[in-house]
Structure 1
Amino acid sequence: MLELILGLTRAFLANTGQICTLILRFYHNRLIVQEPKLFRMDISSNIKYGCPMEVSHEEVVQAAKQAYAHDFILALPEGYKTVVDNSLLSGGQKQRIAIARAILREPRILILDEATSALDAESEHYVKGVMRSAHNGSKRTVIVIAHRLSTIQAADRIVVMDGGKIIEMGSHTELIQKDGLYSRLVKRQADAFA
Structure 2
Amino acid sequence: MSTPDIIDTLAGIKPGSALDAIRTKRLQARENAQKSYLSLFEPIDAGDVSLLERAAVAAFVTGLHGETPVASFYRDKLAATADGPRLVEAIELEIARGKTSGPYGSFPAGPLSVENTAGLIFRVSAERKSALGARLVAALEHAHLLVFRPRDAASDDMQALLAAGWSNTGIVTFSQLVAFLSFQVRVVSGLRTLAAVNASEEAAS
Task: Give the TM-score, by structure 1 length.
Answer: 0.28
Greater radius of gyration (CA): 2
Higher helix content, 1 or 2: 2
Q: Whose RCO is larger (CA < 8 A, sep 6+)? A: 1
Which of the pair is proportionally richer in strand? 1
